[in-house]
Each structure stands twice: as C-alpha cells, then as structure tokens.
Chains A and B, each alone.
Chain A
Amino acid sequence: MALLSGLLFITLGILLVTGVMASWLLLLALVLGGLAGAGVIAIIARILRR
C-alpha cells in the first residue's frame, strides 16, 4: 500500500509540477481511484502471501 501510494503521489506530483494536469476533477478522480486501487492490490497481495 505504501509503495503503490508513494508511486501514485510521485506521478501526480510530477504531472502537477510540469503543468500537464490542470483539472481538479481529474486530480480528484486519480487520487481516489489510485488509492482505492492500491488498497485492493494490497489486500489481494496480503491474501496471496498467507
């Protein structure tokens, strides 16, 4: 979760600094969707590791 969230934040930060992303709606969707996806993957990985 931390790894995926870190990658998500770095990607979003780069997009924001370079000015590629200027839509608040897109940013909101990417943050929420990305965190949800990271959470789901983390859960699946946890189950598989058991």
Chain B
Amino acid sequence: MITGVAAGLGRYTGIDPVVFRVLFAMLVIGSGIGIFLYVAAFLLMKEPNGGPGYVEQWTRRDFTPEAVFALLTGVIGFGLAMNLATVWLGTETLVVGTLLAVALLTAHANGVDLRAVARSLPESLNRRRAPDAPEASEADLGFPYGPDGVYGAHPAQPTWTTIRPAQPAWAPPRTPTPESASHRAPLREESAPETALNETLSDATLSDLSRTDLSRTDVSRQSASPPSYAHAEPFAPHGPFKPLDPYRRSPYDLRPQEFEEKTRPPRVRRRRSFVGVITMMLAIIVGGIVMAAQVGSGSAPDTTVIGGAMLITIGAGLLVAAWWGRGAGLVALGTIVALAIAGGLTFHSGLPSVGSVIWRPVSAAESSRLYEIGIGDATLDLSGLTLAPGSTTSFNASVSVGELKVIVPPTVRVEVHANVKVGDIKIDHSVRGGTDMKITKVLDPDVAPTGKVATIVLTVKGGIGDVEVRRAA
C-alpha cells in the first residue's frame, strides 16, 4: 500500500499481503525492528518492473529470492539478539522471537530446506548481474520459452497476445492462491477474442503479474480489481532446473555453455584508486612518529594516543577518498583501528572480575569504594561495621552475572535501592522476581541500638542473577 513491499512478498509466497502488513505492524509496535525490517525489504527487493533493487544496484549483484528472505531473517535475528542484549526476556524479545520462530516453521512447512538455503547463501549473495543491464523485458521475466516450447525462441510480438485463458499448458506450477483463483474465474468465463484480452491487460500490468522473482509491487498501478495471476506465469524463468543446495547439483549441472555465459557476464572493473593504500601507509607512519615522540620524551607509549593519531589520519584519508568515491576499505580499516583502541581501553580500565568474593568492611571510611564483580558470587558482609550513632553511610555493590548477598547489622536502619535486570530480589523476607525490577525498601532495626539509630543507604545492582539483603544473625 505504501511501497509495495507487502504486496510483493504476498505475491511471491502466495500468502495474503495483509498477513505481511500485520506482521510488520506487530514488529513495529512490539519492537522497533519492524521499521528496520521494512526498510531492509524495500532496499533488497527488486524494482516493480523487475529491475534490480537498490542494494543490488549498489553491490552489482543479483540476489535470489531465497537470499533476500535469508537476509531479512538475518535482520530479525539481529533484532532478537539486540533485544536479548538489552532487555533480555521482555515483551519485545518475545514478540520478535515468536515471529521469527513462526516464520522459520512456516518456511519449513512449505518445503524450504533451511539448511540448504544457509549453505547456498554465500553463492546466492555473490551472484553478479550484467553491468548496465537493460530493464528486464517480458522474455526475461515471463516467458523464456517460445510458443512452440523452444527455450529462448521468444517472438517479437509479446507472448501474452497468444495466450488464451483456457490453455492449461501455461498455468503456473505453483498452487494458486485463493485470491488468484477468485480473480481468475471471470476471465475464464470471458471467451472473448484475443483483441479483447489485449485491451484488458496492459504491458505493464502483465509484467507485474508474470514474474516469480521477489519484487515490490508498483502501488501506482494497483487497481481496485486486480486481474488474474494465471496469465503468463513463467515455467522456468531462471533457466533449467538446478537444486538450491550446491552439494546436490552435479547431476543437473548440464547447462549449455551459452546459458552459462548469459548468466555470468564479465564484470567491468572500476579504476583502481591508490588513496586507500597511501592513507594506510600514512597512518602507520603517523602512528610510528607519535610512538617515537612518546618514547623520546621518556614516557611509556600510550596506545590510545597512537591509535587516535592513526584514526585522524584515516579520517582525513576518507575525506580525500570521498571525492573519488572509493572509501569502503578505509572505513573498514578505521573501524578495525577504533575497535583495537577500544580493546586497549578495556585492559586499561580493567576487565570484569570473575569468581567468588566476600567483602567485610569494618569502618564507614570503606564505603567510598564500589563493591563490584563481573561474573560470580559476591557477599558484602556489613555485620562487623562500626557506625557512629545517628550517622548515614552509603554502600554501592553490583554484580553483572551471578548472586549478590548483603548482610546488614541488626541495629541499623537500612534504605535499600535494589535494581535487577533478570532475576530475584530478596529483601529480608520478601521475594520478588522478574525482569528489570527496581525496588526501594526501608528496613527498621531489628534490635534497638544504644543511642541514635545509624542509617545505611544500600544501592545494589544485579544484571542476571539474584540479589539478597538480610540481617546478620
């Protein structure tokens, strides 16, 4: 309805486009991945006239419908991974995960060999198309076979003018959808001469309906009563039969040489640019100069500064390359350098600790540090803490993955601010479990202290795991 994506998907799969629209809407509402999925589908699918899609134009490739579906599945999978990384098991994750599972099961139930599609994906994505190929004609798209059954013998006259609706030989091999069947009936009843049929179907409409490739539908040409899908469906639009799985092709790979040449035209190479090589050498030289300057000044070489200088050089090279339009390699190089710097910073700031640890602070002065562990079990035992009467002391403790237990003295008032992404929060005797929980609770002293009551403000954070706050015995 907007760009023809759902209609194109529906036409290819034989499923009502409304189903795809509902699925897109669910993914948009349930998780933002729906927007990205729609944009990806718009960019990956072919043009309404059968011409290459946007990504195919940019990459000079010719994607098979299976490859497009696999890429779209990859987009959903990426969204699922993002949801798992951010909210873990939230509503968004369940919506995306359920729809992904339903999509895969539907494909499997319809006879799609998912493993074969995955195995053939590299080849499907690397299929090149002819440079500056003319827009797909009816012969390419609809009828590679002539009226007398000879492959490639396509007459100058459009083939559809010779088709009568009553001719079963031209019926599509696929099972017609209810929609197509319902629209076919009136045309079969109409036993009008060829001229009447010619008036009914325009060239453009026919080219839309006669293809089995995965393309968008031209919304400007969608009429209120779409004509039959039975006309001019191709019998073998991509040449002789060839299994999708490359491991099973050998008995069928007997295509004539001319067909091989037709499908794999030589690629015209672009003029080689030396900006990338020069920039890379310059970046290495600049990095070396900065390192030499640091060593010369008597300080240890700082990899962050060296990497930063290299990054500036690569960025400048990219600005130059933008003029000549060959900057993809430098973008990759800059990304690698930036990731290397991030890796170096990780070691500077310290990797998350792993293991089991027990902290036993005894004075309020030890409250300033952060009690933190990456993966494992941690216990913050405050039972031996000595606090001044009426004082307020804050403690911060966190665990990324694992269990965090805090033991507080029975004579103090405790303000607990607990936050757990996934897991349980147990404060004294109350337990709550779930995702992304934030609980604030005040525990009055179990035993009345001598003098004014001291207060501990306890901030505990947990990623995946349990957090427990309890009184010392």
Using a CB–CB cutoff of 8 Å, the interface residues on chain A facing chain B are 1-3, 5-17, 19, 22-24, 27-28, 31, 35, 43, 46-47
Of the candidates A3, A12, A14, A43, the one whose C-beta lies within 8 Å of that of B318 is A3
The reply to whether B342 and A13 contact each other, CB–CB distance below 8 Å, is no
Give chain A residues whose Cβ lies under 8 Å from the Cβ of B308.
12-17
Given A5-B334, A10-B315, 20 other A-B contacts at CB below 8 A?
A1-B331, A2-B321, A3-B318, A5-B315, A6-B322, A8-B315, A9-B314, A13-B309, A13-B310, A15-B308, A16-B304, A17-B308, A17-B312, A22-B349, A24-B346, A31-B338, A31-B342, A35-B335, A46-B58, A47-B54
The reply to whether A16 and B315 contact each other, CB–CB distance below 8 Å, is no
Of the candidates B58, B325, B341, the one whose C-beta lies within 8 Å of that of A2 is B325
User: B319 interface residue, CB < 8 Å from A?
Assistant: yes
B111 → chain A, closest Cβ, in Å? 34
Q: List 23 A-B contacts (CB under 8 A).
A: A2-B318, A2-B319, A2-B327, A5-B315, A5-B334, A6-B319, A6-B322, A9-B311, A10-B312, A12-B311, A13-B313, A16-B305, A17-B309, A22-B304, A22-B348, A23-B349, A24-B345, A24-B346, A24-B348, A27-B338, A28-B339, A28-B342, A35-B331
Main secondary structure of the interface of A (DSSP, over half): helix
Q: Which residue of B lies closest to A32 (CB)?
A: B335
Q: Which residue of A lies closest to B42 (CB)?
A: A47
A9 → chain B, closest Cβ, in Å? 3
A18 → chain B, closest Cβ, in Å? 8
Report how far A47 CA is from B58 CA in the complex, Å. Answer: 11
Please tell me the number of chain B residues within 8 Å of chain A, measured between CB atoms: 38
The reply to whether B345 and A31 contact each other, CB–CB distance below 8 Å, is no
A49 → chain B, closest Cβ, in Å? 12
**Binary contact readout B296-340 vs A (1 if CB under 8 angstroms, 0 otherwise):** 000000001101111111111111011001111011001100110
The reply to whether A1 and B327 contact each other, CB–CB distance below 8 Å, is yes
Report how far A6 CA is from B329 CA in the complex, Å. Answer: 12
User: B43 interface residue, CB < 8 Å from A?
Assistant: yes
Give chain B residues whose Cβ lies under 8 Å from the Cβ of A3.
318-319, 322
User: B178 interface residue, CB < 8 Å from A?
Assistant: no
Give chain B residues whose Cβ lies under 8 Å from the Cβ of A47.
54
User: B343 interface residue, CB < 8 Å from A?
Assistant: yes
Give chain A residues whose Cβ lies under 8 Å from the Cβ of B331.
1-2, 5, 35
Give chain A residues whose Cβ lies under 8 Å from the Cβ of B311.
9-10, 12-13, 16
Of the candidates B54, B307, B339, the one whose C-beta lies within 8 Å of that of A16 is B307
Report how far A25 CA is from B311 CA in the complex, Å. Answer: 17
B413 → chain A, closest Cβ, in Å? 36
Of the candidates B316, B327, B342, the one whose C-beta lies within 8 Å of that of A24 is B342
Give chain A residues whose Cβ lies under 8 Å from the Cβ of B345.
22-24, 27
